[in-house]
Amino acid sequence: MSQENVEVVRKPLRVRERSSRPLEQRLFLRFPRLVEAYARLIGRLPPGSRLRQAALWRAARNGAEAFNRRDFEAVMIAHHPEREFHPPRELVDSGIADPSYRGPAGYMAFMSNWFNAWGALRVEPQELIDLGDRLVMLGRVTWGGAGSGVPIDQRLAAVSDLKDGKSTRERQYFDHTEALEAAGLRE
């Protein structure tokens, strides 16, 4: 897919070392219909919209921070209920993960297996790229083996397809260039 006529917005993205549920996550979890309306509104705005940029950046940061504190209920706010999750190819090829998982239950099955095998896991986003119908998050992930405790620091990228402002499919990569190519971009 050619990205010649698509507006691309790239912004740095960092997470805080410690976090708790911000007000909007608490509201969205209490009033799910509010999430639907908000996501549709933000999803309709062009990538260059300052409101869209601010909302997506904050949602991505809040989602990564929720992940890092293991608040998976809050992580799921921006996900469509039937969302497909595709872990990095290397995990699938090594037999650690299935090729894809569907919905919150599938995602939680993947995460449960991950934590049992690898222990601690922390996502450190570095950049968020908005392509309108897709988001790309580039960053790093660190973890330590559950048994050995050996620390591992790995590049991580996620390409999320959006519909009505919510993620319907996420593909993860350990190679930033591969993720950018999958999103239709060249580095």
186 or 129, greater pLDDT = 129
- Would you tell me which CATH number, out of the four given (1.10.287.130, 3.40.50.1370, 3.10.450.50, 3.10.20.600), belongs to the domain 9-182? 3.10.450.50
Tokens (6 digits) for 161: 């397809």
Tokens (6 digits) for 64: 């990564």
In this prediction, residue 112 carries a pLDDT of 87
Predicted model pTM = 0.92
C-alpha torsion angle, residues 66, 114, 154, 178 (rounded to 10): -90
User: Per-domain residue ranges for the chain?
Assistant: 9-182
Q: Which of 28-42, 111-125, 138-152 has the highest mean pLDDT?
A: 28-42
